[in-house]
Structure 1
Amino acid sequence: MTTAPSARTGRGSPGRHRKVRANADPDRSSRGIVGWSLGVSAVSTIMMTLDITIVLVALPAIREDLGLTLSGSQWVINAYSLTFASLMLAAASLSDIIGRRTIFLIGHVVFLAASIGCIVTGSEAGLIAFRALQGAGGALVFGTATPLLSDAFSPDDSAKRTKAVAAMMGIGGAASAFGPLIGGALVETGQWKWIFAINIPIGVLVILATLFCVPDLHRRGDPSQQKVPRVAPFAMVLTVGALVLVNYGIIDGENRGWTDHAILAALIAGVLLFAALILWEINKKDAAMVDFRLFRIPSFATVTFNAFASRMFSFGMLPFLVLWMSGQLGLSALEIGYVASGLAVPMIIFSAVGIRAVTWVPVGWVQAVGMVVVAAGLMLGLRLDASSGWQTLLPMLVVMGAGTGLMLPHVMSLAVEVVPASRTGMASGLANTALPLGTAFGVAVYGAYLANKVGSGLDGLPIPDQFRDVAQEAAEAGQFRAIAEQSAPLAQQSLQFFLDGLHGIFIIAAVLALVGALASVVFIRKPAERNLPAGE
């Protein structure tokens, strides 16, 4: 009788076993679980962020194969960016209800199916549609990658969890920056469809690793302690509708005419939907999917603007530089990737400088200096002329990359430091969403401006009517060599109109950067602002 309890204890009684799991949670303390969670999250982050920029250098090859127009090229990029940004905030809420691993896996399946669709489609419309579906899958994956990784750590391992999440985000940022180089290598060694085919084996491996090696630890917690948020399908519809309609109006406005009924209807409807979204979400207060009250905190509003602007004046303008390098300079996809790495390498190097700089200089000033450096780099772009080669462009990219690197490391940390502790998840989600939105709106606005410059210039030339539309489409796509086969003088004039458009884009972006610099100095203040404005 006296030895029975000892024997049972040695085998482990059910009651004691449950107590140990509740307190120690061996699943979360397992290095294997942490390692696999970090692995699948990091690889997934690379895949989803890479697909925003990897397609840039493939645009000329896709244009030749599918006959993309300038607006079609813009939509190939923006279809992904818009659905990615629109659904990312909702993904986190869905993951808390359905299960983080479940949403993570669903996102990968959708992303893989869309990647296959991008490969097999033979039309511009089909590619754009599958790119949008890719973005939806990417949002589900990216929106749950960080929570899935965080769940692998016990509450006592907050420092390790922070380091792991920071490492994952840093890897994703590097992948995004090197997207053009990776895309160029894939296109050069195969064809443009390889940039989508590479997703298939990687995605299958991630799905299998997640199924067999990463438990859904979020679902294993005490249900009574879990806060289940509400999904806001109406807010999701308003968000997607507003972004798509405004982008459609901006991208197709130049071709169809700004007074075209469809364009006016799209722009007006987009603005109205966005206004309705703000009113709807403000009334929901703490239950909102997008808490617009956070933008009344000056530091948060400024740092979110900086995140948006940083992508708008980098990856938002890169497609048009790619068209120039391909159409005028005749660079291959890989060569374009090498030149584009002039933006990526300094961005990574100066990120370390920016991180160290805040030990001596207030973070608002570091942000401001970064923005001013970017503006200086953009002004170097005004040196581009009809006789310029890639060597003229490189200093501009290097200086811009250095300035962006200085400011970007602090965007996410500032976003969560200046808001109430209960809204840090919302703040990081909004700051993350601002990045792809900056790319999308840069592509849309700059493309419309460039098309207007080229179109206005060609309208003043005596071009035969039967050749005018073809000439404008070729000029907008940077195909000056094709124009030269018909008329060398017209090719030179078209190139000058295109360069005038690029110069205007550089000036617009520089002004945007200087506005961000001024706002950073005036408005960015650290944790003193952690409360929402009075009355909220």
Structure 2
Amino acid sequence: MTENTPAPTPASPRRTAGRHRRPAPRPVGWSLTVAALSTVMMTIDITIVLVALPAITADLGLSLSGAQWVINAYSLTFASLLLAAASLSDIIGRRRIFLIGHVLFLGASIGCVLTGTEAGIIGFRALQGAGGALVFGTCTPLLADAFDQDDPTSSAKRTRAVAAMMGIGGAASAFGPLVGGLLVETGTWEWIFAINIPIGILVMVATLVFIPDLHRQEREARRAAGAVGAPGTTGAAGAVRGARISPWAIVLIIVSLVLVNYGIIDGQEQGWTSEIIIAALTAGILLFIALILFELSKRDRAMVDFRLFRIPSFSTVTFNAFASRMFSFGMMPFLILWLAGQLGLSALEIGYVSSALAVPMVLFSAAGIALVRWVPVGVVQAVGMLVVAGGLMLGLVMDVDSGWADLLPMYLVLGAGTGLMLPHVMSLAVAVVPSERTGMATGLANTALPLGTAFGVAVYGAYLSDRVNAGIDGMQFPPAMPPAMESQLRQAAEGGLFQEIAQRSPTFAEETLGFFIDGLHGIFIIAAVLAVVGAVASVVFIRGKDGTGTK
């Protein structure tokens, strides 16, 4: 045995006494291809629907709350099941959960194409989110399995491959509105869902044909070699054996988030003092508290380890991930309603305008990654957040006479700030927690992103609806105006349909547009406050060159 030859270990999953087995083939190229395509599909479906929202609203007759649920039904189920997906993949198998998720996503996409009702589109979007979580939650483990752990260079290769996959997914999410605009402009809004069908079939066929179930094979080999540790220990693969999938935790997560979102979204329509709204908000909050207590009681066996939030830097970076989506994709639907309903922009034109947010987000991500070579990562996070706050303040120049060009300065600066801070979320989440909790930490940070979108849509929508309706309450209507027409006016104003209002009354259109713009100004201020809070927290709690507190 030479000096450079590693000694065989009894626990090696590919060696048995007296003979040497050929290692299983490692389909790295195919694994990266299907993982990247799947990541694109699952992340882009959060944002691609934004520019199609006016067309969906007009075709299906959605209310403002219905339009919000078209977005949030996906985001909430996606976020709620994301943590469980990773645990399920360890128990049932990566490839199996990956394929089940694709089947759900494909079936739901077909349902979105065929449905013709508000309830149908919301229901199928929720099912899409469930499938998306199963797929997205297993993309990284499926890709990681393709690298041979016995190869000393595999760690660096795996890191580069995962970074490439996440980078592709991030770019797809940012450019989702432009892609959606192209599809709606060249066809109909159903195309944004129909495009998932051929891609999904291609990915499933490629997975079945070219990617073996490596995770199952290696578990069987480790079991045969006696390498699988007892529960509560860390096995050969580095996974924490204590954490367990919890059906009760999954139910509590989904029900509590849906109830809180329902209360926020429908509060204006049904009245904030409505018994059903108060009950929904109260029950949602109590169930989430029950989830926290339930998971804390399980300690190392918890599916969601809330003890991680005792680490100030982890809490800060998770908040930053949450806030970054609230002040970008969370408020974008309402700007799109204005672009379509007041300025009359087509879906493709809205996609072009939205690229002013996406392009700097991608470009400044590279700058943010480079900056940490010389500047502490907490400072980079803080600078990014302050740039975001400045960009949001630029939105206050909008008024009733503004055009789409007046939105560009805010979008450009907002995208630059988000690009600076967002690339470090995952690396920070891993750096500041114990090594045996890195998977859960990245899962929580990933979950914060779609939750930020969902809560942004809910909170901003409720605020905007309240401002518009408060303004309409003070208007002087003609005595002979039927109550039904006043109700239609309110719904049209909430949906940004000011050109339709102008056909009946230019005066009403101008007044309600003013209320809508005032509501947007309030949204910008709320988001800017969140950004400043994130900046201060980053400086105070994310210390040291790498954010761990070490110099």
TM over 0.5: yes
Aligned partner of 2:93 in structure 1 is 99
Distance 1:365 1:121, change over 3 A: same
Structure 1 residue 466, shift from structure 2 partner: 2.9
Distance 1:388 1:17, change over 3 A: farther
1:283-305 Cα deviation digits (max 9, x unpaired): 11111111100000010000000
* Distance across 2 between alignment mates of 1:142 and 1:238: 21
Which of residues 203, 206, 218 is equivalent to 2:203? 206
Q: What SS is found at the alignment partner of 2:25?
A: helix
> Does the 8 Å contact 2:378/2:547 carry over to 1?
no
Aligned partner of 1:397 in structure 2 is 411
Distance 1:212 1:472, change over 3 A: same
Distance 1:347 1:528, change over 3 A: closer
Alignment of 1:489-504 (within 5 A): 489-504=507-522
46-55 vs 217-226, which moves further: 217-226
Structure 1 residue 16, shift from structure 2 partner: 8.0
| Corresponding position: 1:284 with 2:298 | yes
Aligned partner of 2:36 in structure 1 is 42
In structure 1, give the amino acid aligned to 2:135. Answer: V
* Distance across 1 between alignment mates of 2:537 and 2:15: 59
* Distance across 1 between alignment mates of 2:440 and 2:510: 50
* Distance across 1 between alignment mates of 2:391 and 2:264: 26
> Does the 8 Å contact 1:297/1:529 carry over to 2?
no
* Distance across 1 between alignment mates of 2:281 and 2:300: 30
Structure 1 residue 416, shift from structure 2 partner: 0.3
229-238 vs 340-349, which moves further: 229-238
In structure 1, give the amino acid aligned to 2:127. Answer: L
Structure 1 residue 486, shift from structure 2 partner: 1.3
Which of residues 504, 511, 514 is equivalent to 2:532? 514
| Corresponding position: 1:445 with 2:443 | no
Aligned partner of 2:148 in structure 1 is 154
Aligned partner of 1:476 in structure 2 is 494
Which of residues 345, 352, 365 is equivalent to 1:338? 352
> Does the 8 Å contact 1:417/1:530 carry over to 2?
no
Structure 1 residue 25, shift from structure 2 partner: 2.6
Aligned partner of 1:219 in structure 2 is 216
* Distance across 1 between alignment mates of 2:517 and 2:350: 18
Alignment RMSD (CA, Å): 1.6
* Distance across 2 between alignment mates of 1:512 and 1:443: 15
- Number of aligned residue pairs: give it: 512
Structure 1 residue 154, shift from structure 2 partner: 1.4
Aligned partner of 2:25 in structure 1 is 27
| Corresponding position: 1:191 with 2:188 | yes
Distance 1:15 1:394, change over 3 A: closer
* Distance across 1 between alignment mates of 2:19 and 2:535: 55
Aligned partner of 1:368 in structure 2 is 382
In structure 2, give the amino acid aligned to 1:440. Answer: A
> Does the 8 Å contact 2:109/2:193 carry over to 1?
yes
| Corresponding position: 1:263 with 2:277 | yes
In structure 2, give the amino acid aligned to 1:326. Answer: A
1:352-379 Cα deviation digits (max 9, x unpaired): 0000101111100000000000000000
Q: Under a length normalisation based on structure 2, what TM-score does the superposition of the two structures give?
A: 0.91
Structure 1 residue 468, shift from structure 2 partner: 1.5
Structure 1 residue 478, shift from structure 2 partner: 0.3
Aligned partner of 1:429 in structure 2 is 443
* Distance across 1 between alignment mates of 2:227 and 2:248: 27
Give 5+ residue unaligned stretches, structure 2: 1-13, 229-234, 236-240
Alignment of 1:17-416 (within 5 A): 19-21=19-21, 25-28=23-26, 33-155=27-149, 156=152, 157-221=154-218, 222-223=222-223, 224-226=226-228, 230-416=244-430
Q: What SS is found at the alignment partner of 2:343?
A: coil
Structure 1 residue 39, shift from structure 2 partner: 0.4
> Does the 8 Å contact 2:318/2:448 carry over to 1?
yes
* Distance across 1 between alignment mates of 2:466 and 2:321: 27
* Distance across 2 between alignment mates of 1:376 and 1:504: 15
> Does the 8 Å contact 1:420/1:530 carry over to 2?
no
1:145-167 Cα deviation digits (max 9, x unpaired): 00000000012311100110011
1:105-143 Cα deviation digits (max 9, x unpaired): 000000000000000000000000000000000000000
* Distance across 1 between alignment mates of 2:541 and 2:534: 10
Q: What SS is found at the alignment partner of 2:277?
A: helix
Structure 1 residue 275, shift from structure 2 partner: 0.2
Structure 1 residue 103, shift from structure 2 partner: 0.2
Structure 1 residue 257, shift from structure 2 partner: 0.3
* Distance across 2 between alignment mates of 1:151 and 1:19: 24
Structure 1 residue 423, shift from structure 2 partner: 0.2
* Distance across 2 between alignment mates of 1:201 and 1:303: 37
* Distance across 2 between alignment mates of 1:387 and 1:234: 52
* Distance across 1 between alignment mates of 2:399 and 2:549: 49
> Does the 8 Å contact 1:56/1:318 carry over to 2?
yes
* Distance across 2 between alignment mates of 1:78 and 1:525: 34
* Distance across 2 between alignment mates of 1:159 and 1:367: 25
* Distance across 1 between alignment mates of 2:16 and 2:509: 82
In structure 1, give the amino acid aligned to 2:522. Answer: G
* Distance across 2 between alignment mates of 1:142 and 1:273: 26
Which of residues 476, 487, 503 is equivalent to 2:505? 487
> Does the 8 Å contact 2:467/2:515 carry over to 1?
yes
Structure 1 residue 26, shift from structure 2 partner: 4.0
Which of residues 457, 476, 479 is equivalent to 2:471? 457
Distance 1:178 1:528, change over 3 A: closer
In structure 2, give the amino acid aligned to 1:406. Answer: L
Structure 1 residue 485, shift from structure 2 partner: 1.3
Identity %: 71
* Distance across 1 between alignment mates of 2:247 and 2:72: 22
* Distance across 1 between alignment mates of 2:89 and 2:255: 23
* Distance across 2 between alignment mates of 1:524 and 1:19: 51
User: Between Structure 1 and Structure 2, which shows a larger proportion of helix residues?
Assistant: 1
Q: What SS is found at the alignment partner of 1:386?
A: coil
268-277 vs 522-531, which moves further: 522-531
